[in-house]
Amino acid sequence: MRFKNLFKNHLEYLRFCLGKRFIKVTHFFLFVLLIYILIEWQHENNLYRNIGHVARIHAANGDDTSVVKEAMTSINDIMQSRHGLFRDQEKHSWKQAVFQSADIDLMYGSGACGGYSKVLARTLQLQGFDVRIGQLKTVKYGFGGHIIIELYSKTLNKWVFIDPLFKLIVRQKNGYWASAKEVAKNYHLYASRMPEKFNQDFKFNDVRYTNWDKFGGIAKPYYALAKLFKGERYADTICLRMYDLSTFPVLFWGIEIGYLVLMGLGFYRWKRNRKIG
């Protein structure tokens, strides 16, 4: 009986909302906006899934190592050719300015090491890989001097170093892929396996996954809570940049939650006024 009354009240509130022109237009606008964002989100996901699908088809064999290498090589070739065409002279549309995502870098071959890393990370993420973006602390430029990605290898049970800009996968003496931390700690052992330009400009001695001082340190409380409950080692590996690869899910769920909160507050106010009246 209580559930029936609650449903009846919600139905009456919905009729009340639809009876007000401004509220009706607002509901319609939010509904259309959510549908548009959902379509764009699906389109973007499908683009990266297709890249990953083709990488699986052309991989030397079916294992994950071959798929990752094929995806990295294909993306590098695409972005190099597009950068040769646009040469950083492209002008972004209003849509690209508002919905900033990794596909801007893919479309124009822009973003240098950061752009290459975001595109490969997005592709591998949608293929089911655990990926994070790392900011190398280079001797020449400091933290953020070069951007790479790390992929979690279930075979090796660790994160491994991948540089999409240089098409570089660093290996240990035993042939296994090395992690960014391992390379940073013993760079002199790996220097001979690095491209000459990498050694000149991007020799590094540390890596981080989030710049907690960015935007005035607004995200530091999150780091402090992670450190408190899960330890410093876990907190130091959090990569917030992974949430920046696509703005569509953030926008969709942000608007959806905001809409539900406003509806809930509106229903509470309507019910209270009704009782008073």
pLDDT(277) > 70 = no
Q: Identify whether 271 is part of a domain.
A: no
Identify the pLDDT of residue 139.
Answer: 94
CB 5 within 8 A of CB 64: no
Q: What is the pLDDT of residues 28-59, one digit of tens each?
A: 888 899 999 999 999 999 999 999 999 999 99
pLDDT at 266: 78
Tens of pLDDT along 247-257?
Answer: 899 889 998 89
165 part of a folded domain: yes
pLDDT tens digits, one per residue of 75-109 = 999 999 998 888 888 888 887 877 777 778 888 88
What percent of the chain shows pLDDT beyond 90?
Answer: 49
Is residue 273 in a domain?
no
Q: What is the pLDDT of residue 3?
A: 55
Report the distance separating Cα 209 and Cα 207, nearest Å: 7
Mean pLDDT of 183-193: 93
What is the reported pLDDT for 202?
95
- Is the pLDDT at 273 greater than 90? The verdict is no
Query: Residue 7: its pLDDT value, please?
Result: 64
Mean pLDDT of 196-218: 91
**Across all residues in the chain, what is the average pLDDT?**
87
Q: Sorting pLDDT into bands at 50, 70 and 90, what band is 210? A: very high
Is residue 257 a part of any domain in this protein?
yes
Q: What is the pLDDT of residue 267?
A: 75
Is residue 47 included in any domain, yes or no? yes
Q: Which residue has 């549908």 as its token pair? A: 35
- Examine residue 90 and state whether it is found in any structural domain, yes or no: no
Classify residue 268: in a domain, yes or no: no
Question: What is the reported pLDDT for 54?
Answer: 94
Averaged pLDDT for residues 193-221:
91
Tell me what pLDDT residue 27 has: 78
Tell me which residue range forms the domain holding 119.
9-85+95-263
The pLDDT assigned to 6 comes to: 59
Range 12-20 average pLDDT? 71
Q: For the segment 117-135, what is each residue's pLDDT rounded down to a tens digit?
A: 999 999 999 999 999 999 9
Average confidence (pLDDT) over 203-210:
94
Report the number of distinct structural domains present in the chain.
1
Residue 269 inside a domain? The answer is: no
The pLDDT of residue 146: 96
